[in-house]
């Protein structure tokens, strides 16, 4: 039985590639609201005018929506 080329390409990927795909999938499942990250290390990056650019949970490695 022959494996179709479209599937063969996926099967030939390296373990590192599969690990990166898995980590990306897991990150997508992590809640992005601030309340879900209570007690975590939260980093807020501001511009030089003190405007908030983004909020990140450094424990989970995801960006956070601070408005929820």
Tens digits of pLDDT across the chain (68 residues): 788 888 888 888 888 988 999 999 998 999 999 999 999 999 999 888 888 888 999 999 899 987 64
Closest CA to 60 of 10, 6, 36, 4: 36
What is the domain range of residue 18?
5-64
User: 0.85 exceeded by the pTM?
Assistant: no
CA distances from 49 to 22, 45, 46, 65 (A): 38, 11, 8, 20
pLDDT of res. 22: 93
Q: How far is CA 41 from the centre of its chain?
A: 16
Do residues 42 and 64 make contact, with C-beta atoms less than 8 angstroms apart? Answer: yes
As for how many domains the chain has, the answer is 1
pLDDT of res. 67: 64
């Amino acid at each position: 039985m022959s494996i179709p080329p479209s599937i063969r390409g996926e099967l030939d990927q390296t373990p590192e590639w599969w690990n990166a795909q898995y980590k990306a999938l897991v990150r997508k499942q992590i809640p992005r609201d601030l309340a879900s990250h209570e007690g975590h290390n939260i980093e807020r990056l501001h511009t030089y005018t003190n405007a908030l650019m983004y909020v990140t949970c450094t424990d989970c490695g995801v960006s956070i929506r601070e408005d929820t």
